[in-house]
Structure 1
Amino acid sequence: MTDTRDRRIAVLDAAAKTKSLNKTRDADQAIRRLVKRNEPITFQAVQREAGVSHAFLYNHADLRQRIENLRARHTPIAATPADSDNTLVITLTRQIADLKKQHHQQLQDLRKVLERAHGENLDLRRELTRRGTTPT
């Protein structure tokens, strides 16, 4: 039983590392796209573009430093009030769409985790039954 538990832990650990590497790659690519489009590099812009959380960006020192350096270099162009209103509407609409997308992805991820937990629970119950112990 310990071997099974150790294997599960190893699999989960590997999955977490892969997920972190993928998020780091996504954030890096998002920064490159924003730079290419000459858009301001901010934590919010990178978060929105990459589909990662603010916490993820702040907790990764390399990404955080890179964003802060690029943000300091960017000089915004003054906009007219009408442009500001349009930009605000577009930005908020994008943010809502991105949040909906993130929410949908989080729900899918949670459903997968719950499904795995139910499977593990069933395996453990079967093991208890096999050993002659009844689950409570």
Structure 2
Amino acid sequence: MTDARQQRIGRLAEAARLKSEEKVRSAESAIRRPIKRGEAVTFQAVQREASVSHAFLYKNPGLRSKIEYHRSRQRPPKAVPETASTDSNIVLALTAEIARIKKVHREETAALREALEAAHGENLSLRRELARLGIEGPVTR
């Protein structure tokens, strides 16, 4: 292997390590935010707050144990008062939940679009760099 290739591999490995560390810091911060707001700490909530995948949270033992610890310490939901059991209150509650879920969906979709655009841009930059260096890229089929 050439020296230049080893250097590129080293730079890529370092970049990946730094990116992973940044994701861990972001996830740890995302664990603290719902606690401060008095909300439930769940894998899904942390995933949304930190913009990381569920797999990343589950595969990282430190993050996983923190989330599970905080999740286990949460109080059970309060009993619904009898007056809230009417049909109209149920409809209002479900309508609010649907609106919240739609908002989360829109935000996640926008985040995914941005990530895809960034990936496409990075891919294009890498292809241009390969072409500039005269290196033939991978064969696509």
Query: TM-score, normalized by length of structure 2?
Result: 0.77
> 2-side partners of 1:28 and 1:92: how far apart?
24
Letter in 2 for 1:25: R
- Once the two structures are superposed, residues 106-128 of structure 1 have per-residue CA deviations (whole angstroms, 9 ceiling, x without a partner) of 213312331243134214427x9
> 1-side partners of 2:21 and 2:52: how far apart?
12
2:134 match: secondary structure: helix
Q: Which residue of 1 aligns with 2:116?
A: 107
| Cα offset, 1:99, TM superposition | 1.6
2:38 match: secondary structure: coil
Q: Report percent identity of matched pairs.
A: 38
1:18 match: secondary structure: helix
Stretches of structure 2 lacking an aligned partner (at least 5 in a row): 85-89, 137-141
Do structure 1's residue 117 and structure 2's residue 126 form an aligned pair?
yes
Greater Cα offset, 30-39 or 96-105: 96-105
| 1:10/1:78 CA distance change after superposition, 3 Å | farther
> What are the residue-to-residue correspondences of 1:1-136 with 2, within 5 Å?
2-75=2-75, 76-78=77-79, 80=84, 81-82=90-91, 84-125=93-134
Q: What is the RMSD of the two structures over their aligned residues, measured on CA atoms?
A: 2.2
Higher relative contact order, structure no. (Cα contacts within 8 Å, ≥ 6 residues apart): 1
| 1:41/1:120 CA distance change after superposition, 3 Å | same
Q: Which residue of 2 aligns with 1:132?
A: none
Equivalent pairs counted in the alignment come to 127
Indicate if the aligned counterparts of 1:51 and 1:98 stay in contact, CA closer than 8 A.
no
| Cα offset, 1:7, TM superposition | 1.3
| Cα offset, 1:78, TM superposition | 4.0
> 2-side partners of 1:4 and 1:65: how far apart?
41
- Once the two structures are superposed, residues 14-71 of structure 1 have per-residue CA deviations (whole angstroms, 9 ceiling, x without a partner) of 1111111111111111111110001111000100111110001001000001101111
